[in-house]
Amino acid sequence: MTVKRLVLTMLLAFVMSVLLPPIYAQDNKVVGKTSLDKESSQLLGKWEIYETKEPGKPYLESYKGRPFVSKGANAFTLILQYNNDGTFRRTAIIGDSQTVEEGTWRLSGHELRHKRKGASEEEIMYVRFNDKNHYVSTEVFEDTSDPGLFAKFRRIN
């Protein structure tokens, strides 16, 4: 009986030594970049808002008539950076002050979802690419009577 147990233990040890190293090796395996679908890969990079329209108002009256200016004392703009790891960075510039928010994003069809760090709900936008350097978004504010915000973005370097 003892010989059988010894042989069985050695056989089990051999099988485990063959099978377990590949399992442990997976723990240290470097995860490659996530492959993005065609629509999502179009969004990668840095974007700046250049035109917006609040619901029911002409473009000239949007944001109380303030034009989007990216630099200087009269700066008033929004810059979005989409990364291929599913993170984004939103920089809002108003005058000399700058607000930065970060979070995760995902694009499914035309629906773009932002989940900011510390926020309890996702922001939902619908996007349409005009070409590789321009897209239009309509932001939807769920659980409110506000129908959202229409904006145009262009790619920047």
Structure tokens at 134: 């321009």
Task: Give me the residue spans of the domains in the chain.
Answer: 38-156
Contact criterion met (CB below 8 Å) for 48 and 153: yes
* Per-residue confidence in pLDDT tens, the chain, 157 aa: 677 776 666 665 655 565 555 544 444 444 444 567 887 899 999 999 988 766 555 545 555 555 677 777 777 889 999 999 999 999 998 888 899 999 999 999 999 999 999 999 898 889 999 999 999 888 765 665 555 677 889 999 7
* Class of the CATH-defined domain 38-156: mainly beta
Letter string b/e over residues 85-106, b meaning 16 or more CB atoms within 10 A of that residue's CB: eeebebbbbeeeeeeeeebebe
Q: Which of 66, 53, 60, 81 is nearest to 151 (CA)?
A: 53
CB-CB neighbours of 115 under 10 Å: 16
Q: Is the pTM of this model over 0.75?
A: no
CB-CB neighbours of 25 under 10 Å: 9
